[in-house]
Amino acid sequence: MLAFYLSLAESPEEKSKIEEIYHQYKKLIYHIAYSKLQKQELAEDAVHDVMLAVIGGIKKLQDRSGEEVKAFLCLVTRNVAVDLLRKERRRAAEPLEDLPLAGGLDPQQQLGARAIAEYIAQMSPIYRDVLELTAYYGFSAKEAAALLKITPATARKRLERARSLLSAYLKEEAYVG
């Protein structure tokens, strides 16, 4: 059964926000994509695809700070670039690298948010991304799956694994501490 409904979609404020995000961050998105794809045309395709993700997720981004929007764009751009690489039938020579952290991590280990932040930074992106999208940005597992170009079942498994890794880390730290 084909059923469709003409939706009066986003509010004017959300539509403006989408434009604002594009004009403010288009070069950043391109830069991140190009660093993975090394081809202008592909990197520009990535910009387009990232903006599609922004349009789809605008309700979750509407009231976010610039820093939060940037972090979201980094996450999505990285995944879009990987997806484009797959489509180009190239295999990444190395696993996805995290973006370098300025000044390195604070070596001091402590429990609480900072300790978790450090662990998150070292976590494999395949687990971190789905955890970030759900726990921080508020996307459902199904929405996160769509953004990450994976199946909902895979998203749920990765989320479970991410939480389990984090819980184990915290338990270990508490034990050591």
Can you give the binding site for another protein, defined by CB under 8 A? 1-10, 15, 18-19, 22, 26-28, 30-31, 40, 44, 47-48, 51-52, 55-56, 67-68, 70-71, 74, 99-103, 105, 112-117, 119-121, 131-132, 135-136, 163, 166-167, 170
Nearer to another protein, 93 or 102 (CB): 102
> In angstroms, what is the minimal distance from the CB of 100 to another protein?
5
> In angstroms, what is the minimal distance from the CB of 92 to another protein?
20
> In angstroms, what is the minimal distance from the CB of 37 to another protein?
14
Q: CA geometry: angle at 18 spanning 96 and 7, to 5°?
A: 110
Tokens representing 150 are 């994976």
Nearer to another protein, 71 or 149 (CB): 71
Nearest to 163 by CA among 108, 118, 123, 112: 123
Burial of 106 (0-12, 13-18, 19+ CB in 10 A): exposed
Burial of 176 (0-12, 13-18, 19+ CB in 10 A): exposed
